[in-house]
């Protein structure tokens, strides 16, 4: 298959959506959980979480426009300044997937999708009890992307909860041990298999050709 930009523009909308959502390769599978100012919990699946830097420890994710519908995650983050990022694993992929349904603001996806809220001292935002790796985040800034009306949400890591089995030494995490999953497109989930681990690459430590 070879598709140039003109053919891309002429494709059926859903076909284009599927293919462009898949071409970037595997994306991380996370649940972003928040609490509204009124105290209603919210959780939704996001595949756009990205590392921005480790000092300070910053992660970003993209919030897409929702048309006329409210964007609960986004609004709750702006209202409270807090959110959590929770890894998805095989036992919860189906429940996690259906958090993407457009529920009204007064409905908690935790209840509707069968996930459990978990609270930790110092955070008003819920964590997802069933998740393995969990991050408590503080909202730092938002960067609007006018080209497609999306928003990059930038947050700092305030708390990282990591199970012992993920500890691969020197801060490395074994994501196969926690059964982290990867996402392609908007509805396909993959298992991860650790293939190799290499030293920091320098021009003078290349393996022999």
Residue in 153, 128, 152, 151 with CA at minimum distance from that of residue 138? 153
- The least distance separating ligand FMN from the CB of residue 87, rounded to whole angstroms, comes to 14
- In DSSP notation, the chain reads ----HHHHHHS-HHHHHHHHHHTT--EE-EEEEEE-TTS-EEEEEES--EEEEETTEEEEEEEPP-TTS--HHHHHHHHHSEEEEEE--GGGHHHHHGGGS---TTS-HHHHHT--EE--TT--SPEETT-SSEEEEEEEEEEEETTTTEEEEEEEEEEEE--GGGB-STT-B-TTTTT-EEEETTTEEEE-------PPP-GGGPPP-
Binding part of the chain for ligand FMN, among 64-72, 81-89, 170-178, 198-206 by CB under 6 A, reads 64-72
- The least distance separating ligand FMN from the CB of residue 7, rounded to whole angstroms, comes to 25
CA 167-174-32 angle, 5° bins: 95
Count, residues near ligand FMN per rule CB under 6 A: 18
Q: Does 71 help bind ligand FMN (rule: CB under 6 A)?
A: yes
- The least distance separating ligand FMN from the CB of residue 82, rounded to whole angstroms, comes to 14
Binds ligand FMN (CB under 6 A): choice among 44, 92, 133, 180: 44
Binds ligand FMN (CB under 6 A): choice among 45, 59, 85, 92: 45
Binds ligand FMN (CB under 6 A): choice among 48, 84, 86, 108: 48
- The least distance separating ligand FMN from the CB of residue 103, rounded to whole angstroms, comes to 7
Binds ligand FMN (CB under 6 A): choice among 11, 52, 93, 97: 97
Return the residues of window 99-158 that contact ligand FMN according to CB under 6 A: 100, 102
Binding part of the chain for ligand FMN, among 97-105, 120-128, 136-144, 161-169 by CB under 6 A, reads 97-105
> Which spans of this chain sit near ligand FMN (rule: CB under 6 A)?
42, 44-48, 61-64, 71-73, 97, 100, 102, 183, 186
């Amino acid at each position: 298959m070879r598709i140039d930009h003109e053919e891309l523009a002429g494709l059926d909308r859903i076909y284009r959506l599927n293919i462009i959502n898949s071409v970037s390769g595997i994306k991380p599978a996370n649940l972003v959980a928040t609490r509204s100012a009124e105290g209603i919990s919210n959780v939704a699946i996001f595949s756009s979480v990205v590392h921005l830097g480790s000092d300070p420890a910053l992660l970003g994710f993209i919030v897409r426009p929702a048309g006329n519908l409210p964007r609960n995650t986004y609004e709750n983050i702006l209202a409270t300044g807090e959110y959590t990022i929770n890894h998805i694993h095989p036992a919860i992929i189906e429940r996690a997937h259906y958090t993407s349904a457009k529920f009204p603001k007064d409905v908690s996806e935790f209840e509707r999708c069968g996930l459990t809220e978990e609270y930790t001292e110092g955070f008003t935002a819920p964590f997802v009890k069933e998740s393995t790796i969990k991050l408590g985040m503080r909202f730092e800034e938002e960067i609007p992307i006018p080209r497609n009306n999306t928003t990059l949400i930038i947050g700092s890591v305030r708390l990282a909860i990591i199970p012992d089995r993920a500890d691969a030494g020197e801060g490395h995490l074994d994501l196969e041990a926690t059964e982290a999953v990867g996402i392609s497109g908007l509805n396909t989930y993959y298992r991860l298999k650790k293939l190799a681990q290499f030293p920091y690459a320098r021009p003078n430590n290349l393996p022999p050709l």
